[in-house]
A and B are shown apart, each in its own frame.
Chain A
């Protein structure tokens, strides 16, 4: 008797479940499928023993690590990987430090030229650095003549150049976040005899950790993906970054090198995905709260 009575009720409740929650899962699953299918394709291509584009299906047809071993044997992938990690790591760290310094001054101090400075930063960052590449090329031709160790084909020259874009990219976002911290914090620390340096390092920096994480991550992803300037800068095989080196892999031989390229893509993704999952909890709070005012 109970079972007969339950059937229509259960059907009704299942209908209500779909109207309230079920469709949300449907949307979620569809979105995940959309997100994952190109990645699935890359995995399938990386494991494909033939290593060509034309023989790659959406789902893996074989499981061979040949593409990975080829990648290390036939190309300078190891060099590219280390170059990229070193460059992106050092550049993102240094650039968030530089812009945190500037954001502190813009947020906490009042001085002549503050408003002009902020507006100038906003304007300058809108001029894409790579449009000036001819001028950059000429400048660095001179620098290479004078100081070969920071010229073309060195990570340091590229590092200096990326530092040029540091202030423009992050200062506004960080200043917005600094502004949300109550001023009483640093005022009372100053009362207690802390210098401005101590206020910055001991009080402000720990509190702005979320935005440091976010801008650091954005800078990291940005320098891993930077291609145009690096392509002009780095012409020696061993000094290339991942973007430049791997573009060269499929620039000429689109079909045959696709397996190696896919394997390289997966390996490149490892550091970013790791950093990403590590900092994920900061990202949402950092981006939105910094953005409200910036």
Chain B
């Protein structure tokens, strides 16, 4: 099938004077002369690359990221080698896109895959040392005789959003400090201004001091900021005072455990789960990141709390993707067939109006549909005098979601079906009717097979897209309705929205598990697509 080319110039008009000679080497092996424009463009682009590399190098050097610097230098050198030489022509065309692909797609995917074998998530983010520091600082209590400071809240960034720093002055020794979650540093007394009245720091070089209004609007962040010190930590007490308290819990390297100095209870480190566990099974909430091997994979397959929803969701996910693709295709094709007639007038007008849903911003229209399904004042219930709680029941929610998908997707199918129909030679269908076939027979025997051949790659692509169509669910039902005993997984959840909730939901983030489910999703989509592509038997042609 060949659609007409609309570009300037026609494919059959050969610009060269001589016909191609089959005996000669095919392309660019013998070098064309270098043109002045080409040279200028090359110099400018390579200069740009060098400039960007220089710009990128300084922060790396400053922060001491030597590996990053090495990658940068190697990449830049490779680019210069590639574009200054005359060899490796295919690479010259592939490298620009591939660089972005590796940096922002392959790398994140690999990182995701590696977290699938860890317990990374809330409470298991950093190293064991981080966990120990977090446990110690959060157990800090004020004890008699602890040092008190006059507190000033400051930041190096924007007063409303920048990371907070405590500026502390010790009224007894007159020493001044700056402290944040990284620790305490003594400041040069000459660089700060201390009020003689309150003993507070009123200005410090390099810091913006928050006024009382700004500080109180961020009081939660102030309370949460704990400055670790050698034998405890400094916490705020209101917005103007701070104290250095003693940590009730401390790490004991001898028994590799956390000991509470008041109760004497100990929690021993368990390297398998990345937590401190007491003899009675109690776990401290601050743990660390460890490798858990195939535990997440096992959990997806065997844990009834996870595998039950997983396979249920998988079934609905297939139904959703097939339904979204199938219904839009059927409706789009039916309308395209109806409008495809030499005697039809005004097809252009119909087409222009029909495809408007495709041109509307889909995120906004999904939200509009959500509100049209609203039980109390939604348009659909008002218009038809219904009182259906659309998103309340599992099946009505599924029907609603598919209806929305149909509305959003059928104009696209209508467009491509129209294009494919126009490319089917009219003589074919006319020949069948001369042979006495009914319109239905001729559609089944001639038109439909030809349409499917032309459109099956698009149908597969549409299936793959809808399989992971987050917006369609997130903007409408948000995965609901949820069964009362299972808030993790709703009736219209796709695997991907389920994963999204696992990773970012209110239940606490479980990135490790979410990454495992991501890999499952990837495997499923890849398998289905591979099978379908093989079945379309276009492979040979594609690789020719």
Chain A residues with CB under 8 Å of chain B are 20-21, 23-25, 27-28, 31-32, 34-36, 38-39, 41-42, 53-54, 56-58, 98-99, 101-102, 104-105, 108-109, 111, 114-115, 117-118, 122-124, 126-136, 138-139, 145-147, 160-161, 163-168, 171, 176, 180-200, 203, 206-210, 221, 224-225, 227-228, 242-243, 246-247, 250, 254-255, 258, 261-262, 264-265, 268-269, 272-273, 276-277, 280-285, 287-289, 291-294
B531 interfacial by beta-carbon distance below 8 Å = no
Chain B proximity of A192: nearest CB distance (Å): 5
By a CB distance below 8 angstroms, the chain B residues around A277 are 352, 359
B212 interfacial by beta-carbon distance below 8 Å = no
Interface range for B = 35 or more
Give the CA-CA distance A246 to B35 in the complex, in Å. 50
Give the CA-CA distance A78 to B6 in the complex, in Å. 36
Additional pairs, 10, CB under 8 Å, beyond known A27-B338, A99-B97, A135-B111: A35-B411, A42-B368, A128-B470, A188-B18, A196-B28, A203-B15, A206-B9, A224-B361, A247-B367, A288-B420
Question: Which of A118, A146, A187, A272 is within 8 Å of B60, CB to CB?
Answer: A146
Give the CA-CA distance A227 to B90 in the complex, in Å. 35
**Cβ A105 vs Cβ B93 within 8 A:** yes
Interface string of B426-458 (1 = CB under 8 A from A): 000000000000000000000000000111011
Chain B proximity of A121: nearest CB distance (Å): 8
Tell me the chain B residues, 394-443 only, with Cβ under 8 Å from chain A: 407, 411, 414-416, 418-420, 422-423
B149 interfacial by beta-carbon distance below 8 Å = no
**Cβ B93 vs Cβ A127 within 8 A:** no
By a CB distance below 8 angstroms, the chain A residues around B393 are none
A-B pairs under 8 A by CB, number: 360
**Cβ B105 vs Cβ A289 within 8 A:** no
**Cβ B538 vs Cβ A293 within 8 A:** yes
**Cβ B355 vs Cβ A276 within 8 A:** yes
Q: Is the interface of A mostly helix, strand, loop or mixed?
A: helix
Interface string of B333-345 (1 = CB under 8 A from A): 0110011010110
By a CB distance below 8 angstroms, the chain A residues around B355 are 35, 276, 280
Interface string of B356-393 (1 = CB under 8 A from A): 11111111110111011010110100110000000000
From known contacts A291-B457, A293-B541, infer whether A58 and B20 are also in contact, taking CB-CB under 8 Å.
no
By a CB distance below 8 angstroms, the chain B residues around A282 are 6
Question: Which of A41, A122, A131, A171 is within 8 Å of B372, CB to CB?
Answer: A41
B305 interfacial by beta-carbon distance below 8 Å = no
By a CB distance below 8 angstroms, the chain B residues around A288 are 1, 3, 416, 419-420, 423, 454-455
Chain A proximity of B171: nearest CB distance (Å): 35
